[in-house]
A = this chain, B = another copy of it.
Amino acid sequence: MVSGTSEGTGRLPLEEKILKEQLRPSAEDRVYIQRVADRLLAAIAENGKAEGMVVGSIARNTWVKGDRDLDVFLLFSPEMPREALEAEGLALARTIARKFTNTFCEKYAEHPYINATIDSIDVDLVPCYNVASAAHIQSAVDRTPFHTRYITEKINGLVDDVLLLKRFAKAGGIYGSDQMTEGFSGYLCELLVLHYGGFTPLLAAASEWGPHLKIDIEHHAAKEFDEPLIVIDPVDPRRNVAAAVSIDRMAEFVELARGYREAPSEVFFTLPEPRGVTRDDLVEIISKRGTALYAITFATPPFIEEIVVPQLKRSTGAIRDLLARSGFVVHHAHYRMGTVRCMLLFELLNDALPPVRRHEGPPVWNRLNAEKFREKYRDATLPGPFIENGRYVMEVPREFVCAADLLTSPALLNVGVGRHVRMSLEKDWCVFEGADCWQEEFAAFIAGFFSRCSPLVRITRGR
C-alpha cells in the first residue's frame, strides 16, 4: 500500500474545482448530519439493548455532497440466537425510529432492517452481531462495522481522492454494485484509492489493467477467485470486494481512465442527464437501422432487484438462444426491471424465415437409431432423408416462420428463464413489435439500448 496526500498526488486545478464546488460536503452539511447521527446514537444508548454505530460513507467521511444516506447499525451480542436477533433487532430499530418519525418501513436484505426519513436524512437502522473479528461474522451485515473501522483508520489524507473517484465512476455509469450496474461499490472505490495512494495514481494504473487483476492490500487472500477484478477484502481474506464488477464495467473503467488521462475535463465528472427516446424517435431509429425490434413485457415479480435482475439477465440470454436456434439472428438484446413491468428487448437481423428447415438425424452407421429415424419420416412430404457427412438429414416444416410467433408461443416457458420470471410469464406476457415496443416507463432504457456507446464516447462526444 502506498500512502499519499493530496499534495503528493498532483491534483489538477480542475479536480480541486470539482471537489470544492460539487463534492466536498459543507461544514453545515457535516454538522447537520452529525447532529442526526448523535441523536440516534443517544437514543440507542439510552435504550441499552444494543450498541449503536454509524457506518457507511458518513462514518468514514467519504460521502459526496448531497448524499443524505445515514447507516446506523445496532450491534447485538453474538450469543443471541439468530431468530432472537431478527425479532429483537427489528423491534429495537422500530422503537428508535418511532422516537423520530411516524412513517418508516421494514426492508429486507440478508436481514430485515428499518428505513426511515428523519429530518430529511434517509436513515437505515440495521441490526447485526457485534462479533470479535470479521472471521466470526454470521451474516454479511456483521462485516460492515469492520469495513468502517478499517477505512476510517487508513483514509486520512485520501478522502478527496475517494470523492473524485466516486463521482468519476458515477458520471461514467459504472458506480454501484447492484445487479443492473455490475459496477464499483463505494467500499471498492475506497480500497482502490487506498491501494494506489490516490485518484491520479489509480487512473495511471487502471490504464494498464487487464482481466483477473488481483489486489490484496493485506496480503492475506485465503481463496481463489475467478472474477474479472479481484480485490481481497482487508477484513475478510475469503471475500472479493469486486465480485460484482463485470468484465465490461472493468473495461469501461479502464477506458475512462485512459480517456481522462489523455484529455482531463469536467465532463468526466458530470452526471449524465437521463435521456429517453420518444415514440417518433423510435420509428425513425428502426427505419434507419432496418432491423426488427421485439419487446417482451410482463409483470415485475414482487421481489427485490437482487433477485429479479439476475433472472432477467438469464431469461434474456435463454430467449436469445431460443431465437438463434430457431434461425433468427439476434443483433442486440437487453433487459430492464421496471416498477410495474419488466421488459426484454431484442433487435433482430431477420424476423421471417422460409417454411422449411434442416433437421439432422443420427449417423447412418448407428443402425438402430438410423432405422428409427427412417421409420419416423417414412411418409414425410418434404424431400429426404438424405445423407450428409454420413448422417441422415431431413427437411422438415419450420415451426416458427416469424419471430413474433415464436415469442408469443409457450416455447418461451421451456427455456431457462428464472423461477420468478417464469411465474410471472405463466400468468401472462405481451409481445410488441417495431415502434410498438415504445413505452413511457422504458423510454430511457430504449434510448440506451440503441445509443449504447462506451462511457468514453458518451462522455467525450456527448452521445
Contacts and interface: CB of A to CB of B under 8 A. Distances in A.
A387 B248 contact: yes
A158 B334 CA distance: 70
A211 B384 contact: no
Contact of A364 (B254, B388, B391): B254
A370 interface: yes
A386 B247 contact: no
Contacts of A457: 384-386
A216 to B, nearest CB: 20
A209 to B, nearest CB: 7
Contact of A208 (B367, B374, B386, B389): B367
Contacts of A250: 390
Interface string A387-409: 11111100000000100000000
A356 interface: yes
Contact of A390 (B228, B331, B349, B364): B228
Interface residues of A, number: 53
Interface of A: 207-211, 228, 247-248, 250-252, 254-255, 258, 289-291, 327, 329, 331, 349-350, 353-356, 358, 363-365, 367, 370-371, 374, 383-392, 401, 450-454, 456-457, 463
Contact of A387 (B210, B251, B258, B386): B251
Nearest to A348: B354
A198 to B, nearest CB: 22
A329 to B, nearest CB: 7
A439 B212 CA distance: 60
Q: Within the oligomer, what is the number of copies of this chain?
A: 2
A250 to B, nearest CB: 7
Nearest to A352: B350
Contacts of A392: 454
Contacts of A386: 452-454, 457
Contacts of A454: 384-387, 392
A226 to B, nearest CB: 14
Given A384-B453, A453-B384, A251 B349 contact: no
Nearest to A353: B349
Given A252-B364, A252-B387, A387-B454, 11 more contacts: A248-B387, A251-B391, A258-B367, A289-B354, A289-B355, A289-B356, A327-B329, A331-B354, A331-B356, A386-B453, A386-B454
A360 to B, nearest CB: 13
B248 A367 contact: no
Contact of A254 (B365, B452, B463): B365
